[in-house]
Amino acid sequence: MFQPFGSRLAQAMDHHGPLCLGIDPHPHLLNAWGLNDDTAGLATFSQTVVEAAAETTGVAALKPQVALYERFGSAGFAILEDTLQSAREASILTIADAKRGDIGSTMEGYAQAWLADGSALVADAVTLTAYLGYESLRPAIDLALSHNRGVFVLALTSNPEGASVQHLGPEGDSVAKRIVDAAARDNATAEPLGSVGLVVGATVTDDAKSLNIDLVRANAPILAPGYGAQGAQAADIRQGFGQAWKNVLVNSSRGILQHGPKVADLKSAIADARKDLIVK
């Protein structure tokens, strides 16, 4: 049995740096790579990204965007299964960016799909949304912890609509803060890093401060989208997260994928991002 997800991720970040490479097969990226927007193009794109990540030091985790596979139906999910398996064979951690969230037996079903041993879609971690309440995610959290896998719960995102929900609540007790505090309780005894992660946008760290959110106390891996093509610079991210920076897994998708389709060019872009993100 492998170590808890938080421990494995901490080790991967120590070795590779804090880069999480998104596998986002958008139609325009497939076309830019000279691929058709079909399942053949999807498979080639996915395997090329995994190959590039496997051949360089610089990718702590791969994060396939589930929606961009799901649009092809069962054939897309089959390619996602192959992609996750290829990453496992290359000993690269995977985060299924599925953003699942529901209650009761439905949440249990999602948990079984993404986190249970033997599932064709099993990943090392999955993203979750707590709109129905943090405890609605308990089946997935408990299954993840019992199987040494992880979850990343959306806490504070950069989309313009996010603040209308995430910032709500009495002063000093926003929805986002409650999610972070709940994750902190689940991670309280974990060393060196908990397995209940958080998604916090790289461009909204000022909001975290204004909402009195303590990301250090959360002891959580922090998945931070927004680097590169979305505008956040490495120095700004490090400053924004402050003492929590050591726990931050910085996601980059388009900023690296735009350099494809050659594996060598992707590897070069990964190396550049790693150099940019690692503190000297």
Identify the H or E element spanning 5.
helix 5-16
In 3D, which of 155, 130, 53, 57 has the Cα closest to residue 94?
Answer: 53
Residue 228 has what pLDDT? 77
Quote the mean pLDDT of the chain: 97
| CB of 51 closer than 8 Å to CB of 45 | no
Residue 102 in tokens: 């529901």
Cα–Cα–Cα angle for 133, 209, 198, rounded to 5 degrees? 40
pLDDT > 80? residue 171: yes
CB 251 within 8 A of CB 2: no
pLDDT score, position 101: 98
Query: Homologous superfamily of 5-277 in CATH?
Result: Aldolase class I (3.20.20.70)
Q: What is the pLDDT of residues 42-52, one digit of tens each?
A: 999 999 999 99
Q: Inform me whether the pLDDT recorded for 224 exceeds 90.
A: yes
Active-site residue, 99 included: yes
CA distance linking residue 167 with residue 179, whole number of Å = 11
User: Residue 199 burial (CB < 10 Å; 0-12/13-18/19+)?
Assistant: buried
Q: What percent of the chain has pLDDT over 70?
A: 99
* HEC-encoded secondary structure of 256-280: HHCCCCCHHHHHHHHHHHHHHHCCC
Catalytic entry in 99, 209, 267, 275: 99
- Domain ranges within the chain, ordered by starting residue: 5-277
pLDDT bin (cut points 50, 70, 90) of residue 130 is: very high
The pLDDT > 90 percentage for the chain reads: 96
Taking the complete model, does pTM exceed 0.85, yes or no?
yes
